[in-house]
């Protein structure tokens, strides 16, 4: 199955320059190089490097100015250079470079994995699995709980972040990024910001936090929708409150009975058969043993955070920093997601 596309016109790499830089640094890199692009995703740019005998994946930040500390390729490379040893779903990173003359930005190269990424529809390859949505749901939650059980000190990542005060920094940091977009004032966002500050839960035992955990950031086996092959997009990975990851999963999760403004954000098929959000939380609690009594807070926080992520992408499109027309549709999703965050907060009291 071909999961790549020709490189978009405004996101081209200089193939000869890339080949010259990588030659001798990776097995197989003495062979001719063909570059294609992975078309999914809306932020970092991901390319397929094909040497014939060997395949790799190159990751770099999006085009145009980016927020400080966002799209951190050095961080992602460091995490994946260590995590693969303890966590089978982490692709191994082989090489990082901050030489901007190669692709115009810092980048890293990691191993290529093969499988299925599920986006808006359940792929036809799973037609023989009537319980595919439920199996995907379970595998997704189990892998998240297992990530949060990784001994990060043992693999050299004890200094990856500062767990103390993690949630407050999330609230305030995303608020600063929201203001930096210079989009019109949004009353729902202001109300959620105030509610989050006033309702922070007590800090629990920290763990590695993926920070963007959702269905379309994982790869499943083509012959089994209940088996993960890989988890991607580790550039925001840090040490912090693991329930923020579960909140992120809930923020991108949609159910057929959800209001339209919840479904607008869905990064998954909206159909019966998937575990509902309450079932996801219960399964995580059982596997991890963690207290999930404050999940409404983490759900609202994650929706609030997603508003900012979408806004940052949308603003790059509006300013002409990317020509990817998919991002034009993000405009109306911004207020819809802010309202969803406020709805969750209000229901929590």
Do residues 103 and 157 both lie within one domain? no
CA distance 272 to 255: 8
Whether residue 304 lies inside any domain: the answer is: yes
Do residues 209 and 304 both lie within one domain? yes
Do residues 130 and 100 both lie within one domain? no
Choosing from 60, 88, 111, the residue where a domain stops is 111
pLDDT of residue 319: 81
Do residues 183 and 288 both lie within one domain? yes
Choosing from 59, 76, 111, the residue where a domain stops is 111
Helix then strand then coil, % of the chain, to nearest 5? 40, 15, 45
Give 1-13 pLDDT, tens digit per residue: 468 999 998 899 9
Give 255-296 pLDDT, tens digit per residue: 999 888 778 777 799 999 999 999 999 999 999 999 999 999
Q: Is the dihedral of CA 256, 262, 264, 265 positive or negative?
A: negative
Helix (H) or strand (E) holding 26: none
Do residues 92 and 224 both lie within one domain? no
Choosing from 52, 80, 111, the residue where a domain stops is 111
Give 134-187 pLDDT, tens digit per residue: 999 999 999 999 999 999 999 999 999 999 999 999 999 999 999 998 888 899
Give 306-335 pLDDT, tens digit per residue: 999 889 888 888 787 777 767 777 888 899
Whether residue 295 lies inside any domain: the answer is: yes
Q: Count of domains in the chain? A: 2
- Residue 147's φ and ψ, nearest 5 degrees, are -60, -45
CB 35 within 8 A of CB 7: yes
| Mean pLDDT confidence for 190-207 | 96
- 110: nearest Cα among 126, 130, 128, 90: 90
CB 348 within 8 A of CB 300: yes
Query: Model pTM?
Result: 0.90
| Mean pLDDT confidence for 101-122 | 95
**Those residues with Cβ within 8 angstroms of residue 22's Cβ, 6 or more apart along the chain or in another chain:** 29, 33, 49, 95, 109
The whole domain housing 81 covers 4-111
Domain CATH for 311: 3.90.1200.10
Do residues 230 and 324 both lie within one domain? yes
């Amino acid at each position: 199955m071909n999961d790549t596309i020709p490189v978009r016109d405004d996101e081209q790499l200089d193939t000869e320059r890339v080949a010259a830089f990588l030659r001798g640094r990776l097995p197989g890199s003495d062979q001719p190089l063909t570059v294609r692009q992975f078309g999914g995703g809306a932020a970092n740019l991901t390319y397929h490097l094909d040497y014939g005998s060997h395949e790799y994946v190159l990751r770099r930040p999006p085009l145009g100015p980016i927020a400080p500390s966002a799209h951190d390729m050095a961080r992602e490379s460091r995490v994946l250079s260590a995590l693969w040893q303890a966590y089978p779903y982490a692709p191994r990173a082989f090489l990082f470079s901050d030489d901007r003359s190669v692709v115009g930005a810092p980048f890293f190269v990691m191993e290529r994995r093969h499988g299925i990424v599920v986006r808006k529809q359940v792929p036809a390859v799973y037609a023989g699995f009537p319980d595919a949505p439920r199996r995907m749901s379970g595998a997704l939650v189990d892998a998240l709980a297992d990530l949060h059980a990784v001994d990060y000190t043992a693999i050299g990542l004890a200094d990856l972040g500062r767990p103390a005060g993690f949630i407050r920094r999330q609230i305030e940091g995303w608020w600063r990024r929201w203001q930096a977009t210079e989009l019109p004032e949004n009353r729902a966002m202001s109300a959620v910001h105030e509610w989050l500050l006033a309702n922070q839960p007590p800090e629990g035992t920290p763990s590695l936090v993926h920070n963007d955990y959702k269905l379309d950031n994982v790869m499943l086996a083509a012959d089994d929708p209940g088996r993960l092959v890989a988890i991607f997009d580790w550039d925001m990975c840090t040490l912090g409150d693991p329930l923020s990851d579960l909140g992120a999963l809930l923020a991108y999760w949609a159910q057929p009975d959800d209001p339209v403004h919840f479904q607008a954000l869905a990064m998954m098929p909206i159909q019966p058969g998937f575990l509902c959000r309450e079932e996801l939380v219960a399964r995580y609690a059982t596997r991890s043993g963690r207290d999930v009594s404050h999940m409404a807070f983490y759900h609202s926080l994650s929706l609030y955070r997603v508003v900012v992520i979408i806004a940052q992408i949308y603003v790059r499109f509006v300013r002409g920093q990317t020509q990817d027309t998919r991002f034009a549709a993000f405009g109306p999703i911004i207020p819809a997601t802010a309202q969803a965050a406020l709805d969750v907060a209000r229901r929590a009291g």
